[in-house]
């Protein structure tokens, strides 16, 4: 494999991984701190993308679109937490799964009513729609570089907040022992709402950034939610660091699997077998990784609770 | 007792009503992909289909058309439920509309077992073109290999020697690349199958460029193609290898969402909006008037599916309850297709011409397809000889 191809695929893997991290970070905090399985996390990602597309269409500014999506989705997220999710914290996981699954169905239908069943357009800014020459022979899409940059910035910000601030300390305390944290005077009710809002805002960033690369459509949240769950299971539930490592692993493994596995199969087997088995196995690869991690480290790579 | 009697009377009345129905209207079950990334295709097929009924004041061939429209969401499971409803509850006379072979293939046995006629306005799978050809199965569009074979021929003519192939991993994708390889004589720089519905092609595009092909032949219908073209262009790859495709991914719907980067893409199809014949001029004008946009090949296929039904109803004098006569009329139907010459082969798949189109910016600054040549005349798919129609 030539060096430029390797570099390009590494960037592709990094880009996918960072976007997964934005989703997984919120999911893992909610799951870790509140012990709440929120299937509707992907719905917030969808809402973020739709808000961004609508504002971009109306204002013509991509930056304004992201800002509006972040604020709007955070507000919607916090409203959801206060009204629907809060009564569910004390219930069993099954109740939480059923209730948040209902939220997915309701949200999808609402989006269908408001925006229609067909995908809507969210175009990348014209200035970023071309390639950038990073090295001789290595042209990479400018927009994807920006996505990587924003993803890294968000990861850094999250790291600083979680590790070096008082709020972060409360979050970590809540994740490792909720009752004790609340006994030590942490206002968990307020903390939960804030954490949920922050998770929703990260979803909106991912939704707005991925909108131009994927498609803004009903049901977009469910596909990516599954990947986000794989990420937090690999990384360790409740751990933001685990979410980052898990997301990068999944992003890179998926990219490598999609490109290298079919080529490997072609070298070893007949073209017919390769074209059947290669793509099939490539799409299974991240689940194989998850199964492997579960087998050897059932609590994930970076368990939040000791 | 009286309750039971009135219930029985009610059932008898219902039975009477449904037998009376058969003579004065035709029930059409239209199931297509109307949501998700493939929605643009289903919507165009639907709009083309309804245009015929609208033009006839809600009738098809003189019979009132009762068209029930359903969304298969590009999912075989949803498709099965809808087919169940069409065949068992609604007892429709004709089913039509499906876009994707991965929906059509799993539901087709149930449709054929119920004795209902199916008219495909899009996918024309190999399965029903050869030994398994069925008198109730008609394809008004093309066999899946046809447009790709035409493009293979074009690329030979243009002396392209090293072509990279990419398609989704589902029956329609594999058949399309088989069709291309049937006629293309040069070397294959790479052959990649992606997940159906995949929207991010960064990794595939990087690998593709590293293989340094002369040209790329891709088959990615609907939103997949839109995303692929955008990402291919934003990676600056079109300077190295130009894109060639069957018409599906270079039609007005894709042009509308991709825009400028489409200019220069060559594609093959059985129809183009600028074909010069009276039926096509009427179709394009009517479609634009009704929906305010240019029709795509999908719209033309939906339009012809409805025209085919209307012609068969007319030829049987409205007596569609005689299934054998209705099938015979469908097979022999003559109607003015916007594509020009069209007739059914022995396997109920089309014999027709194929054209080469190029996406251009016309005098008015509009980006659209322009017909630049004819590739095949009276082309028949390679499977018909294996069909022994019952």
Q: What was the ipTM of the complex prediction?
A: 0.87
Selecting from B37, B71, B207 the residue whose C-beta is nearest the C-beta of A215 gives: B37
Q: Is A112 on the interface with B (CB under 8 A)?
A: yes
SS3 at position A23: helix
- Backbone torsions φ then ψ of B149, nearest 5 degrees: -60, -40
- Whole-prediction pTM: 0.88
C-alpha to C-alpha distance for A95 and B334, rounded to whole angstroms: 60
Using a 10 angstrom Cβ sphere, with 0-12 exposed, 13-18 middle and 19 or more buried, the burial of residue A276 is middle
What are the extents of the domains in chain A?
7-217
Terminal-residue alpha carbon distance, chain A: 42
**What is the phi-psi region of residue B269: left when phi exceeds 0, alpha when psi lies from -120 to 50, beta otherwise?**
beta
Decide if A139 and B34 are in contact by the 8 Å CB cutoff: no
Which site among A212, A259, A276, A281 would you substitute to test the B interface, given the most B Cβ atoms closer than 10 Å to its Cβ?
A259
Furthest C-alpha separation in chain B: 84
Query: What pLDDT, on a 0 to 100 scale, did the predictor assign at position B17?
Result: 46
Decide if A275 and B174 are in contact by the 8 Å CB cutoff: yes
C-alpha to C-alpha distance for B239 and A256, rounded to whole angstroms: 25
Indicate whether B333 pLDDT > 90. yes
Query: What pLDDT, on a 0 to 100 scale, did the predictor assign at position B372?
Result: 95
Domains along chain B with CATH numbers: 2-142+276-344 (3.40.50.2300), 146-269+354-379 (3.40.50.2300)
H runs (alpha helix) in B56-165:
76-84, 101-113, 146-157
Indicate whether B71 pLDDT > 70. yes
Q: Where does the pLDDT of residue B315 fall: very low under 50, low under 70, confident under 90, or very high at 90 and above?
A: very high
Neighbours of A137 (CB within 10 A): 14
Query: What pLDDT, on a 0 to 100 scale, did the predictor assign at position A180?
Result: 85
| Both tokens assigned to A85 | 């999710």
SS3 at position B206: helix
Neighbours of B389 (CB within 10 A): 12
Q: Is A267 on the interface with B (CB under 8 A)?
A: no
Name chain A contacts of B202, Cβ cutoff 8 Å.
12, 15-16, 141, 144, 255
Decide if B206 and A9 are in contact by the 8 Å CB cutoff: yes
pLDDT tens digit string along B114-125?
Answer: 999 999 999 999
Using a 10 angstrom Cβ sphere, with 0-12 exposed, 13-18 middle and 19 or more buried, the burial of residue A159 is middle
Q: Where does the pLDDT of residue B259 fall: very low under 50, low under 70, confident under 90, or very high at 90 and above?
A: confident
H/E segment holding residue B120: strand B117-120
Query: What pLDDT, on a 0 to 100 scale, did the predictor assign at position A271?
Result: 66
Query: What pLDDT, on a 0 to 100 scale, did the predictor assign at position B20?
Result: 42
Please check whether residue B264 is in contact with residue B229, taking contact to mean a CB–CB distance below 8 angstroms: no
Kindly write down the DSSP assignment for every residue of A32-74, as one continuous string.
HHH----TTHHHHHHHHHHHHHHHHHHH--HHHHHHHHHHHHH
Please check whether residue B48 is in contact with residue B306, taking contact to mean a CB–CB distance below 8 angstroms: yes
Query: What pLDDT, on a 0 to 100 scale, did the predictor assign at position A112?
Result: 93
Which positions of chain A have pLDDT values less than 70? 1, 271-272, 275, 305-306
Query: What pLDDT, on a 0 to 100 scale, did the predictor assign at position A22?
Result: 95
**Chain B closest-CA separation from residue A192 CA (Å):** 34
Query: What pLDDT, on a 0 to 100 scale, did the predictor assign at position B6?
Result: 58
Indicate whether B139 pLDDT > 50. yes
What angle, rounded to 10 degrees, do the helices at A62-80 and A188-210 form? 150
Query: What pLDDT, on a 0 to 100 scale, did the predictor assign at position B18?
Result: 46
Q: Is A168 on the interface with B (CB under 8 A)?
A: no
Decide if B202 and A5 are in contact by the 8 Å CB cutoff: no
Query: What pLDDT, on a 0 to 100 scale, did the predictor assign at position B222?
Result: 87
Of how many residues is chain B composed? Answer: 390
pLDDT tens digit string along A40-65?
Answer: 999 999 999 999 999 999 999 999 99
């Amino acid at each position: 494999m030539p060096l430029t191809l390797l570099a390009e695929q590494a960037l592709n893997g990094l880009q996918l991984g960072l976007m997964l991290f934005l989703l997984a970070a919120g999911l893992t905090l909610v799951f870790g701190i509140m012990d709440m399985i929120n299937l509707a996390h992907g719905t917030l990602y969808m809402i973020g993308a739709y808000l961004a597309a609508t504002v971009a269409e109306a204002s013509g500014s991509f930056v304004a679109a992201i800002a509006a999506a972040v604020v709007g989705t955070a507000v919607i997220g916090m409203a959801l937490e206060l009204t629907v999710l809060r009564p569910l914290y004390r219930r069993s996981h099954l109740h939480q799964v059923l209730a948040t699954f209902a939220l997915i169905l309701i949200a999808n239908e609402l989006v269908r009513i408001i925006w229609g069943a067909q995908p809507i357009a969210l175009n990348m800014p014209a200035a970023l729609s071309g390639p950038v020459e990073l090295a001789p022979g290595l042209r990479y899409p400018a927009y994807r570089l920006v996505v990587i940059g924003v993803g890294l910035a968000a990861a850094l910000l999250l790291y600083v907040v979680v590790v070096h601030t008082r709020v972060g300390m409360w979050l970590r305390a809540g994740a490792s022992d909720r009752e004790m944290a609340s006994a030590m005077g942490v206002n968990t009710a307020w903390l939960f709402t804030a954490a949920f809002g922050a998770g929703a805002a990260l979803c909106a960033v991912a939704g707005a950034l991925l909108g131009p690369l994927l498609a803004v459509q009903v049901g977009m949240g469910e596909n990516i939610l599954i990947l986000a769950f794989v990420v937090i299971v690999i990384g360790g539930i409740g751990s933001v660091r685990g979410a980052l490592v898990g997301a990068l692993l999944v992003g890179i493994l998926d990219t490598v699997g999609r490109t290298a596995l079919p080529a490997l199969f072609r070298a070893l087997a007949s073209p017919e077998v390769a074209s059947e088995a290669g793509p099939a196995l490539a799409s299974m690869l991240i689940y194989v990784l998850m199964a492997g991690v579960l087998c050897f480290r059932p609590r994930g790579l970076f368990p939040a609770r000791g | 007792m009286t309750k039971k009697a009135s219930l029985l009377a009610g059932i008898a009345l219902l039975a009477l009503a449904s037998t009376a129905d058969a003579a004065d209207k035709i029930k059409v079950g239209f199931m297509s992909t109307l949501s998700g990334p493939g929605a643009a295709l289903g919507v165009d097929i639907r709009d083309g289909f309804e245009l015929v009924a609208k033009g006839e004041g809600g009738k098809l061939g003189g019979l009132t058309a009762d068209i029930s429209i359903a969304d298969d969401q590009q999912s075989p499971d949803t498709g099965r439920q809808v087919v169940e409803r069409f065949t068992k509850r609604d007892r429709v006379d004709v089913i039509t509309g499906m876009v994707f072979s991965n929906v059509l293939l799993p539901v087709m046995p149930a449709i054929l077992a119920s004795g209902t006629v199916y008219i495909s306005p899009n996918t024309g799978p190999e399965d029903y073109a050869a030994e398994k050809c069925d008198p109730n199965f008609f394809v008004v569009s093309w066999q899946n290999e046809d447009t790709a074979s035409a493009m293979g021929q074009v690329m030979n003519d243009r002396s392209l020697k090293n072509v990279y192939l990419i398609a989704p991993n589902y029956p329609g994708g594999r058949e399309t690349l088989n069709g291309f390889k049937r006629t293309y004589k040069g070397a294959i720089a790479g052959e990649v199958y992606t997940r159906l519905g995949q929207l991010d092609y960064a990794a595939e595009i990087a690998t593709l460029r590293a293989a340094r092909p002369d040209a790329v032949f891709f088959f990615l219908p609907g939103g997949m193609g839109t995303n692929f073209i955008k990402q291919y262009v934003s990676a600056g790859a079109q300077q190295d290898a130009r894109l060639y495709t069957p018409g599906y991914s270079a039609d007005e719907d894709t042009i509308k969402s991709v825009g400028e980067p489409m200019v220069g893409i060559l594609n093959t199809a059985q129809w183009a909006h600028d074909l010069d014949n009276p039926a096509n001029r009427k179709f394009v004008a009517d479609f634009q008037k009704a929906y305010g946009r240019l029709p795509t090949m999908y719209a033309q296929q939906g339009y012809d599916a409805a025209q085919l039904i209307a012609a068969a109803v007319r030829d049987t004098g409205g007596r569609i309850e005689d299934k054998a006569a209705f099938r015979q009329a469908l097979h022999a139907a003559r109607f003015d297709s916007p594509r020009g010459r069209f007739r059914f082969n022995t396997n109920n798949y089309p014999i027709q011409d194929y054209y080469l189109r190029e996406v251009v910016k016309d005098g008015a600054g509009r980006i659209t397809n322009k017909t630049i040549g004819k590739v095949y005349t009276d082309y028949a798919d390679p499977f018909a000889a294996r069909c022994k129609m019952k």
